[in-house]
A and B are shown apart, each in its own frame.
Chain A
Amino acid sequence: MALIEIRNLHASVEGKDILKGVDLVIEPGKVHALMGPNGTGKSTLSNIIAGRDGYTITEGDILLNGQSLLEMEPQDRALAGIFLSFQYPVEIPGVATSTFLKAAINARRKAAGDGEIDAMEFLKLVKAKAKELGVRDDMLKRPVNVGFSGGEKKRAEVLQMALLNPRFAILDETDSGLDIDALKVVADGVNALRSPDRSFLVITHYQRLLSYIVPDVVHVFAGGRIVRTGGPELAQELEAKGYADYTGAAA
């Protein structure tokens, strides 16, 4: 069975139609890339999958393991294994990153009927993962995303992903704002998480990231839907030719 299946999804925000019939099937273990011009609805799609308020779904469905997500609260979707690495991670002043991570881990443990994670165990776990992703210890003490550079924010997102073990992760322009070294670290982090039962939707503007995270399938997204699907070579083609061919589809 497909891990994620999006069927003819139409959605609007404030009366404006953004998604106009998205169809997408992602099998377990696969990495799909979603590429396309700005302002065409890629972040909207991510937010809707994650259950953000404020969108009206006028048609279609989103299924995780064959079950509709539409009636589920965002936190329940998260606990069911959906993770969104945000394009613009938000700041939470006064809340230490490690406190936040612990709360997220404990939310999962609570849902599973387990007790809270032991403080020492947590520290060991976080420090090990942080090291792998080049996240410095002092960043864990700083408030969530406050004063983080663009690159630090994205690394922190990937660190959260690594700690929360999602079934389906959406990376919304995780590469933007990263220099090449940071890009490699982040890509390594994602690659390390690739497994037969975990799938990814990697939203990006540039082919660059896809040289490090090699996708199984590439989609072109324009005008609120997927307009073309191919293999990794499609990304190369887009890199060479740009999105000029597709911007018309937005009309």
Chain B
Amino acid sequence: MAATDSTAQTVKELERYKYGFETNIETELAPKGLNEDIIRFISAKKEEPEWLLEWRLKAYRQWLTMTEPTWANVHYPTIDFQDAHYYAAPRQKVAPKSLEEVDPELLRTYEKLGIPLREQEALAGVAVDAVFDSVSVATTYKKRLEEMGVIFCAISEAVKKYPDLVRRYLGSVVPPGDNFYACLNSAVFTDGSFVYVPKGLRCPMELSTYFRINEKNTGQFERTLIVCDDGAYVSYLEGCTAPQRDENQLHAAVVELVALDDAEIKYSTVQNWYPGDAKGKGGIYNFVTKRAACRGRNSKVMWTQVETGSAVTWKYPSCILQGENSVGEFYSVAITNNRQQADTGTKMIHIGKNTRSKIISKGISAGYSDQTYRGLVRIQPGADGARNFTQCDSLLIGDQCGAHTVPYIETKNPTARTEHEATASRISEDQLFYCLQRGLNPEDAVGLIVNGFCKEVLQTLPMEFAVEAQKLVAISLEGSVG
């Protein structure tokens, strides 16, 4: 490639991933490596109670006996877990008590990411918790929410302020030993959000956490816990970005949702971690365990995910439908381009009577990427009258990419009914030419067609984020045609 071409290519890449900048800020790091002292270090930094330190250490000891899962259809070099920092936080003289005290450099970073944290500039109706590397740096509208009885804060803060709630629910949906990455997370998690919505309250604001990885050679271990008490409702959205780097970084999150009687949780993700460059160099390993327990009668959890980023994604937001008449829904758009790999899907475990689940998955593969939808629908013997509807559509762009669908259905109750539909298609030449003939350039045409393909999922996003998500869908596919 001529030098000018490669420069042009670089510029194009930079434009494509506009969140790839790095914030220059003084950071406090834990020494590299992973051992019990590091865990004690993290726990001490967070000023945690003894029980939590014990909880972490127990998880760590269990993790040492586990091996990395290999069943997913993703390939990456072996991760050296000793070669990363497990704690990175912007150095602040005193912990900021209010937004006014937050380091302006951090405020500027979030502004650049399109997330103004000063309340007068912030999106009305959306409260934001901003997590930067291992710590939550700010949470907006906290006061207003508190007045209504909604707790929305960093999980590290919740551990101190609401220890009973945290202790009751932490690890109750994803136990520490659940799987290799969840176990690692339980040992070393740093920050994430805690949400509690009290009985009977429909939280009037969207709650949102914005995760940012900034420091190099670090992993981010997000831990989020959302509890909706009887009859409560909340809509929560998380966004994620990271600087553009040649090295791979690990984001191993655990998210637990608990919905009690008649409660409803809507959890949306717009995952836009740095995906690596066109040749597959760099990018985030996104190994995430997300699970919801629909514990109460008539409870409902709706997962919506728009997955466009990360070099490798391994993620199956699931619902345990325990309460009678509880409902689990999973809406997913996953886009892989260039050398990205994604193995993603959901699990719907029907335990209670008349539980219902719905799965709508739209996978788009382009470039040399590879994508797998992996889903499990399990109907337990007691789940009389359970229903599932699954629809998996994959769209291929070009002929170098892969799309696979692996649906498992296990029915142990004869009254249950499951329905599964799957399609695989390519963007047709006819559609593309039709758009070009109307004057659209190939990239806009693909963006439009793919947005149409994903519409059913995108329209489940909170309105404030739907437009951004549509743009993101188009941007992630740039360079995939022509």
The residues of A with any CB-CB pair to B shorter than 8 Å are: 47, 50-54, 73-75, 78-79, 83-84, 86, 89-95, 99-100, 103-104, 107-108, 111, 143, 160, 164
Contact = CB atoms under 8 A, between A and B. Distances in A.
Contacts, number: 77
A94 B436 contact: no
B452 interface: yes
Contacts of A100: 435, 438, 448
A143 B429 CA distance: 18
A53 B429 contact: yes
Contacts of A93: 452-453, 455
B433 interface: yes
A95 B442 contact: no
A107 B439 contact: yes
A93 B439 CA distance: 19
B103 interface: no
Nearest to A163: B438
B425 to A, nearest CB: 10
Given A92-B452, A94-B453, A74 B430 contact: no
Contacts of A104: 438-440
Contact of B434 (A92, A108, A111): A92
A98 to B, nearest CB: 13
The prevalent SS among residues of B at the interface is helix
B439 A78 contact: yes
B438 A90 contact: no
B434 A89 contact: yes
A78 B456 CA distance: 31
Contacts of B434: 86, 89-90, 92
B437 interface: yes
A95 B449 contact: yes
B478 to A, nearest CB: 16
B179 to A, nearest CB: 35
29 contacts: A47-B433, A50-B437, A51-B437, A52-B433, A53-B433, A54-B429, A73-B436, A74-B433, A75-B439, A78-B438, A79-B439, A84-B437, A86-B437, A90-B428, A90-B430, A90-B431, A93-B453, A94-B454, A95-B449, A95-B451, A99-B448, A100-B438, A100-B448, A103-B440, A104-B440, A107-B439, A107-B444, A143-B452, A160-B438
A148 to B, nearest CB: 14
Contacts of A83: 437
Contact of A164 (B429, B430, B439): B439
A52 B428 CA distance: 13
Contacts of B24: none
Interface of B: 428-431, 433-442, 444, 448-449, 451-456
A107 B440 CA distance: 6
B394 to A, nearest CB: 14
B364 to A, nearest CB: 13
Contacts of B437: 50-51, 74-75, 78, 83-84, 86
A144 to B, nearest CB: 8
Contact of A74 (B436, B449, B455, B456): B436
Contacts of B441: 75, 107
B440 A94 contact: no
A75 B431 CA distance: 13
Contacts of B456: 94
Given A53-B429, A54-B429, A75-B442, A92 B448 contact: yes
B64 to A, nearest CB: 48
B436 A75 contact: yes
Contacts of B428: 90
A95 B440 contact: no
